Structure 1
Amino acid sequence: MDPAEVGRRAGEVLDRVNTVVVGKREALELVLAGILAGGHVLLEDFPGLAKTLTARCFAQTLGLDFTRLQFTPDLLPADVTGSYLYNQRDGDFVFRPGPVFTDLLLADEINRTPPKTQAALLEAMQERQVSVEGVTHELRAPFHVLATANPIEYEGTYPLPEAQLDRFLLRVSFGYPSAQEEQTMLRRRMARRAEETVLQPVVDAATLTEMQRALEDVAVEDSVGRYIVELVAATREHPQVQVGASPRGSLALLLTARARAALAGRDYVVPEDVKQAAPAALSHRLSLRPEVWLRRVDPAAIVEEICARVPVPASDRLPTYTGTPS
């Protein structure tokens, strides 16, 4: 499958999701880009803004097995990964897989569970495996985590540690719909005469895996690669930032820019792909200085400021890693 075909099929997926999630095309593109890039996405926004609905719609249109896990303060790590149960008939312990053994896991309100349970997802998200009682169990591909979090409610919540935030490829917010979009949502609800919606699959898990592999054919010219490095380096030198993005942020920006290029049907990355992906790929990787954090400065605004300040490259040379002379 070539990137042009990836863009066509991804467009069909987005069109179908858009029939339920009204508007918010740009945010939906970011979520799909995160999935195509093989990563996990944190949906952080106010209650009632279609975070859970978005995860369910993408699972249906992508033809993926879907599991929703509601994170609560009493949730245990074994409730996520699974555990061994004693089988009296065979006289042996049998592993019972947990909700993490799925294609797309919705970790709903992930900041409502203690750090010990949050950490149970770390190995699964990074290594695509879980270890229970000293035995490692592989997770089949594709495997993606879409987690939701409420950014304004702090009572009874446990902020995600930096190590876990860094595991998310992107952090996406939807924001409130416009008056016209909200009216369209109401009209569609009355027209379908039912609360739940079921979307027919556009692709299946095997096709999604092919689409993800096709991203390796998306070229990144050397000057664009340097542009990514300069953006990430600028986050480490910004006066309002205490700790900037790590090299994992550079990789996240590269992968997301490739996915956005494929969404547009291109087999090459342009600087605009990088700029559009930068706030979602880098903002959750920044630790702000205490005085800045108290003023509730949005890290995404800092990333956008950096994107506006760092010079954008203009080059039509081929990337040197392809072996083709410039």
Structure 2
Amino acid sequence: MDLAAVTLPLALAVIMFGLGLGLTPADFRRVLARPKATVVALCCQMLLLPALCFGLVLAFGLTPVLAVGMMLVVASPGGTAANLFSHLYGGDVALNVTLTAVNSVLSVVTLPIVLNLSAQYFLGEGTELGLQFTKTLQVFAIVLIPVAVGMYVRARAPHFARRADRPVKIASVVILVLIIAGAALQERGNMLDYLRSTGPVALALLVLSLSVGYWVPRLAKVERGQAIASCMEIGLHNTTLAITIAMGILHNTEMAVPGATYGALMFFAAAVAGLFLRRATRTAPSAPAASESEHP
């Protein structure tokens, strides 16, 4: 467990540094330029999804620790993989970058709130699993500092940042796979029981996240490309962060299982959602599609 406390934050720092390499201050200023799509997506991710996840863990009867672990997943911001899937399926990648940047900053505040409230509800008053002030500072350090360093490197050495972007993204995927494998290995004796418990909840949460991420913006009259970006951003959580907090900061491997389960399923679910959205785009009437393109 001591090894996890060291290696997991370092691994996450690499991922967040890679995120920072792709960000500029303009990504944050873009919120003012397109507030509607950004605000709708952030409200879905930070308010609606935790409520839906809370209902799911109660409906499926998860054990208290696994329930907190699932709430930890839904409280984590979108991951860099959302940018890739958004690009593949016609989403507004600039909006993805903006949402990832803003949500990563806001999660330093919102994630401890969701985790503390979940721990108090499922584990009882006075639990020691909540993120207290010193552990909140750890979350701040492993989330924002690497992002800030990555942004600084991009500003000072843009050519290096462009060269490093692809290798760091590949390393991020490898790291995620290794972290999921490590969590599964540590809990291998209970893994089948955990998968039976968390698999259906994770799958239901994925379907809800991807659906909410697309249809709520569309109902709010957000154009299709931005809705696809929102769909991927809200569906693809930063499960590495959730697992790192569970294992590396809270020292609870069981709590990391929902993150590992969700991380193993989300790429498949996002690919299926993307194919569905692409087919829906091809069969949509040409007139509305044309009118949407006039309003970026």
- Please indicate, yes or no, whether the TM-score normalized by the shorter chain is above 0.5: no
Instruction: Name the one with the larger helix percent.
Output: 2
Q: TM-score under structure 2 normalisation?
A: 0.28
Structure-1-length-normalised TM-score: 0.26
Greater per-residue strand proportion: 1
- Identify which of structures 1 and 2 has the higher relative contact order when contacts are C-alpha pairs closer than 8 Å and 6+ apart: 2
